[in-house]
Amino acid sequence: MKVIVDHARCQGHALCMLKAPQVYQLNDDGYNSMPPTEVPPELEEQARLGAINCPEGAIRLDKRAAD
Protein backbone atom coordinates (compact mmCIF):
# COMPACT_ATOMS: atom_id res chain seq x y z
CA MET A 1 0.00 0.00 0.00
CA LYS A 2 1.12 3.54 -0.77
CA VAL A 3 0.22 6.75 1.10
CA ILE A 4 -0.16 9.81 -1.07
CA VAL A 5 -0.43 13.19 0.68
CA ASP A 6 -1.98 16.13 -1.14
CA HIS A 7 0.45 18.82 0.07
CA ALA A 8 -1.76 21.67 -1.11
CA ARG A 9 -4.58 20.45 1.10
CA CYS A 10 -2.54 19.81 4.25
CA GLN A 11 -3.23 22.51 6.85
CA GLY A 12 -0.99 21.13 9.56
CA HIS A 13 -3.63 19.55 11.82
CA ALA A 14 -0.95 17.02 12.81
CA LEU A 15 -3.54 14.30 13.40
CA CYS A 16 -1.88 11.92 10.92
CA MET A 17 1.34 12.09 12.89
CA LEU A 18 -0.44 11.78 16.24
CA LYS A 19 -2.39 8.71 15.08
CA ALA A 20 0.40 7.05 13.08
CA PRO A 21 3.82 8.40 14.00
CA GLN A 22 5.63 5.55 12.23
CA VAL A 23 3.97 6.40 8.93
CA TYR A 24 3.54 10.18 8.85
CA GLN A 25 6.02 12.90 9.65
CA LEU A 26 5.68 16.68 9.56
CA ASN A 27 8.30 19.11 8.29
CA ASP A 28 9.85 21.92 10.33
CA ASP A 29 6.90 24.18 9.50
CA GLY A 30 4.44 21.63 10.88
CA TYR A 31 3.03 20.44 7.53
CA ASN A 32 3.10 17.00 5.93
CA SER A 33 5.32 17.26 2.86
CA MET A 34 6.27 13.60 2.55
CA PRO A 35 6.49 12.14 -0.96
CA PRO A 36 4.28 9.20 -1.97
CA THR A 37 5.52 6.43 0.31
CA GLU A 38 5.19 2.67 0.28
CA VAL A 39 3.87 1.35 3.62
CA PRO A 40 4.89 -2.10 4.89
CA PRO A 41 1.95 -4.43 5.62
CA GLU A 42 2.41 -4.24 9.39
CA LEU A 43 1.87 -0.45 9.30
CA GLU A 44 -1.13 -0.44 6.96
CA GLU A 45 -3.66 -0.26 9.78
CA GLN A 46 -1.84 2.73 11.30
CA ALA A 47 -1.62 4.40 7.89
CA ARG A 48 -5.38 3.98 7.45
CA LEU A 49 -6.07 5.40 10.91
CA GLY A 50 -3.96 8.46 10.11
CA ALA A 51 -5.74 8.96 6.80
CA ILE A 52 -9.31 8.77 8.13
CA ASN A 53 -8.45 11.23 10.88
CA CYS A 54 -7.20 13.92 8.50
CA PRO A 55 -9.88 16.66 8.67
CA GLU A 56 -8.88 17.92 5.23
CA GLY A 57 -9.10 14.52 3.55
CA ALA A 58 -5.58 15.17 2.27
CA ILE A 59 -4.30 11.59 2.56
CA ARG A 60 -5.05 8.97 -0.07
CA LEU A 61 -4.25 5.29 0.32
CA ASP A 62 -3.36 3.55 -2.92
CA LYS A 63 -3.84 -0.16 -2.49
CA ARG A 64 -2.93 -1.09 -6.06
CA ALA A 65 0.70 -0.71 -5.16
CA ALA A 66 0.43 -3.76 -2.93
CA ASP A 67 -1.21 -5.96 -5.58
Got the DSSP string for 1-67?
-EEEE-TTT-----HHHHH-TTT----TTS---PPPEE--GGGHHHHHHHHHT-TT--EEEE-GGG-
* Size of interface with another protein, in residues (CB under 8 A): 17
- Touching another protein, residues 7-66 (CB under 8 A): 11-15, 17-18, 26, 28-30, 49, 52-56
Minimum distance of another protein from residue 17's CB (angstroms): 7
- Point out which residues bind another protein (CB under 8 A): 11-15, 17-18, 26, 28-30, 49, 52-56
